[in-house]
Amino acid sequence: MKKKESGQTLLEALIALSTAVIIISAMTVMVLSSLNNAQFSKNQNQATQYAQQGIEVLKNTSQSDWTAFAVNNGSYCLSQDSTTLIQTPVSPGCAQSPYIINNLFVRDVVISQYLAGDITTIGYADCQPTSVTRAKVTVTVSWSDNKCTSAMDPYCHKIPLVSCIYNSTTILPP
């Protein structure tokens, strides 16, 4: 009878150990998932701040000298702590030094200039009113992590911010 009981104890111990391993494994997966989500959220918030900073740089540049700002039309790179737009290099674009921010983020800027009364250009309606000189600016901050699998676009996470900037000297009072 004692042999039967000792065998049961061994079986009970194996079941308890298996259950403990399963529970610990599940907890490990949950913790790792939570850490990955927290890191993604942190990167997403940082990218949003860099995009907002880019919009502010463009707004300040346009307010200080609209004539100089108005010659910018197309794609540009904006590096960290810079107020100077650099025409986007053909390849690999802004995803190269010195444009990479904190070794992770890439900030691209697209500017579309519209003259007062210009209603023939595609996208003109994005920035109303059409009676003033204006620019549609899109600042996109991208970053990469271990979830980006495409070799064509290693920066698979993107935060785009779009704004319209107006020539303040042409805005008519209400």
How high is the mean pLDDT of the chain? 85
pLDDT of 85 higher than 70: yes
Give the residue from 55, 63, 166 showing the smallest Cα distance to 108. 55
Q: Is residue 173 part of a domain?
A: no
Residue 45: pLDDT band with limits 50, 70, 90:
very high
Letter for the amino acid at 61?
Answer: T
pLDDT of 12 higher than 80: yes
Q: What is the pLDDT of residue 1?
A: 47
Top-confidence residue, 91 or 156? 156
User: How many C-alpha atoms does 4 have within 13 Å on its Cβ side?
Assistant: 1
Q: Is residue 42 part of a domain?
A: yes
Q: Is residue 172 part of a domain?
A: no
Contact status, residue 107 vs residue 140, Cβ threshold 8 Å: yes
Tokens 């990479």 found at: 100
Tokens 């204006």 found at: 134
Q: Is residue 79 part of a domain?
A: yes
Q: What is the pLDDT of residue 120?
A: 65
Q: Is residue 87 part of a domain?
A: yes
Q: For the purposes of burial, counting CB atoms within 10 Å of the CB of 75, is it exposed (0-12), middle (13-18) or buried (19 or more)?
A: middle
Q: Is residue 96 part of a domain?
A: yes
Give the chain's domain count: 1
pLDDT (mean) for 40-61? 94
Residue 154: pLDDT band with limits 50, 70, 90:
confident
Q: What is the pLDDT of residue 19?
A: 96
Which residues are CB-neighbours of 165 under 8 A, at least 6 positions away?
58, 59, 62, 69, 134, 135, 137
Q: Is residue 54 part of a domain?
A: yes
Q: Report the C-alpha gap between 130 and 110 in whole angstroms.
A: 19
Residue 155: pLDDT band with limits 50, 70, 90:
confident
Q: What is the pLDDT of residue 114?
A: 83
Q: What percentage of the chain reaches a pLDDT higher than 70?
A: 86
Give me the phi and psi of 2, to 5 degrees please: -65, -35
Q: Is residue 129 part of a domain?
A: yes
Q: What is the pLDDT of residue 141?
A: 95
DSSP for 65-126 reads: -HHHHHT--EEEE--TT----EEPPSSSTTSSTTTEETTTEEEEEEEEEE-TT--SSTTGGG
Summarised one tens digit per residue, pLDDT across range 94-142 is 888 888 898 899 999 999 888 877 766 665 567 777 777 888 999 999 9
Q: What is the pLDDT of residue 20?
A: 96
The residue range of the domain holding 161 is: 2-166
SS (H, E, C) 26-68: HHHHHHHHHHHHHHHHHHHHHHHHHHHHHHHHHHHHHHHCHHH
